[in-house]
Chain A
Amino acid sequence: MGHTDKSNWELIKNGIFSENTIFRMAISLCPSIAVTNSLKNGFFMGVSVIFVQTMVNLTVSLIRGFVHPKIRIPIFMMIIAGYVSIIDMTMAAFARPVYKQIGLYIQLIVAFASIFARAEVFAVKNKLVPSVCDGLGMGIGFFLAMIVISFFRELLGKGALWGFPIVEGNPLLIMVLPAGGFFAVGLLMGFFNWMDAKIAERKSAGQAVEKQAA
């Protein structure tokens, strides 16, 4: 990918739908299961990733002229680690209860393949504004995936949302257990694939009809 010709809006949409980190690219999966047992945890994780991804893209794009290609990997790593430390300490100070549960995974954002990959394939070759939009799109895509997964897991597993009970009765305990995370992601992925196939089918059917009409 060289300089991009896409508009900023297209870049954001690209991150949310066609290159969604979790459901499409299937990278950075660890937190998608580890922290999605409640909506709150998923929300905080998603927000942290939006912040880190956007800031990393911004910084890498700013310094892209100065960094020698041979030492770019350690430099990018340090930039990412710096921003992760910021969010790590901020959360430790202001969101203590959540931090206790997901702190380890916040620290491990530093090893996210998706963040590094966007810096490497996109931000380093593009101007400031497109890079920020790309980072924002990728971050929001990840955020939405976290929200969807944790919504289902908390609702089914605890009968609650954001800690407030919603459904009475016996919840499916398995959904908040580790195994439930795998099931939830697997089923959602399958569902999105199925939807994709349906949409493609409808499109090709529509084209066939147009051809006949012509």
Chain B
Amino acid sequence: MDFNKLFQLIIAASLINNFVFTRFLGLCIFFGVSKKMETAVGMSITFTAVMVISAALSWVVFQYIMIPLDLTFLKIIVFIGIVAAFVQSADTIMKKVSPSLYYKLGIYLALITTNCIILAVPLINSGEGYNFLESMSFGLGSGIGFALALIIMASIREKLELAEIPAPFRGMPISFIVAGLIALAFTGFSGLITL
């Protein structure tokens, strides 16, 4: 097993091709829940877990069911079905097994089903032809990258609350401009690793 490659994938997915700042996925969540540190942390944990598991699940379905049956043209429909079914069952299981955890993270689970960032992981995996471990590493890397973005943004926005901002720019617009500045910083990572 080539661990070097897996490590490179994780770094590349989290820093160089950061989902939020270079691929622009998950922006709704990114701007929606980055107001408070606590929610940002909860969201990042849930997202990373769901991404890794759904990457694994959809890889199995894609390799062993869809390719043999020549159904790859249905991948959008199938992947969203897998993600939705998984999230729904995780929701139910968590409610029964660990109500305290459900109370903390359950609301984020509901938001995940219709989120582009979760769906993008299996779509990119199948497009790039990653193997099982590579798919999971890509999921993990993307999750870490998203967590990083969310936590940076949340800590800045907590400070922004106290800043004096021109009236038309309060709220959303200033967050966009801050995100743009962070994205500019993230361009510095490009060229860190060449795959």
Q: Do A and B bind each other?
A: yes
| Residues of A that sit less than 8 Å from B by CB | 26-31, 33-34, 73-74, 77-78, 81-82, 84-85, 88-89, 104, 107-108, 110-113, 116, 174, 177-183, 185-187, 189-191, 193-194, 197
Contacts A178-B183, A179-B183 given; indicate if A26 touches B172 (C-beta within 8 A): yes
Q: Does B167 belong to the interface (CB within 8 Å)?
A: yes
CB atoms of B123 and A81 under 8 A apart: no
- Which residues of B are found within 8 Å of A187, using beta-carbon distances? 173, 177
Cα–Cα, bound, A26→B35 (Å): 15
Q: Which of B53-61, B70-78, B98-106, B140-148 contacts A (4 or more CB under 8 A)?
A: B70-78
Determine which of A110, A183, A189 lies in contact with B119 in the assembled complex, contact meaning CB atoms within 8 Å.
Answer: A110
CB atoms of B77 and A186 under 8 A apart: no
CB atoms of B31 and A26 under 8 A apart: yes
The residue on B at minimum CB distance from A196 is: B168
In the complex, chain B residues 8-38 whose Cβ is within 8 Å of any chain A Cβ:
21-28, 31
30 A-B residue contacts at CB 8 Å? A26-B31, A26-B172, A29-B28, A30-B24, A30-B27, A31-B24, A34-B25, A74-B81, A74-B84, A81-B81, A85-B73, A85-B76, A104-B123, A108-B116, A110-B76, A111-B80, A111-B115, A111-B118, A111-B119, A113-B114, A177-B183, A178-B187, A179-B184, A179-B187, A180-B180, A186-B176, A189-B172, A189-B176, A191-B168, A194-B168
CB atoms of B120 and A104 under 8 A apart: yes
Q: Does B124 belong to the interface (CB within 8 Å)?
A: yes
CB atoms of A34 and B24 under 8 A apart: yes
Cα–Cα, bound, A30→B115 (Å): 10
Q: Shortest beta-carbon distance, A111 to chain B, in Å?
A: 4
Main secondary structure of the interface of B (DSSP, over half): helix
- Which residues of A are found within 8 Å of B7, using beta-carbon distances? none
The residue on A at minimum CB distance from B124 is: A104
Determine which of B28, B31, B168 lies in contact with A190 in the assembled complex, contact meaning CB atoms within 8 Å.
Answer: B168
- Which residues of A are found within 8 Å of B26, using beta-carbon distances? 30
| Residues of B that sit less than 8 Å from A by CB | 21-28, 31, 73-74, 76-77, 80-81, 84, 113-116, 118-120, 123-124, 127, 166-169, 172-177, 179-181, 183-184, 186-187
CB atoms of B116 and A111 under 8 A apart: yes
- Which residues of B are found within 8 Å of A179, using beta-carbon distances? 21, 180-181, 183-184, 187
Determine which of A181, A190, A197 lies in contact with B180 in the assembled complex, contact meaning CB atoms within 8 Å.
Answer: A181
- Which residues of B are found within 8 Å of A26, using beta-carbon distances? 28, 31, 172
Top 3 A-B residue pairs of the complex, sorted by shortest distance between their CB atoms: A186-B176, A182-B180, A194-B168
Cα–Cα, bound, A17→B110 (Å): 29
CB atoms of B181 and A85 under 8 A apart: no
CB atoms of A186 and B114 under 8 A apart: no
CB atoms of A178 and B168 under 8 A apart: no
Q: Shortest beta-carbon distance, B192 to chain A, in Å?
A: 16
Contacts A181-B180, A182-B177, A187-B173 given; indicate if A30 touches B25 (C-beta within 8 A): yes
- Which residues of A are found within 8 Å of B115, using beta-carbon distances? 111
- Which residues of A are found within 8 Å of B24, using beta-carbon distances? 29-31, 33-34, 178, 181
The residue on B at minimum CB distance from A183 is: B180
Cα–Cα, bound, A58→B68 (Å): 35
Q: Shortest beta-carbon distance, B186 to chain A, in Å?
A: 8
Determine which of B81, B84, B119, B181 lies in contact with A108 in the assembled complex, contact meaning CB atoms within 8 Å.
Answer: B119
Cα–Cα, bound, A116→B119 (Å): 15
CB atoms of A186 and B76 under 8 A apart: no
Q: Shortest beta-carbon distance, B23 to chain A, in Å?
A: 7
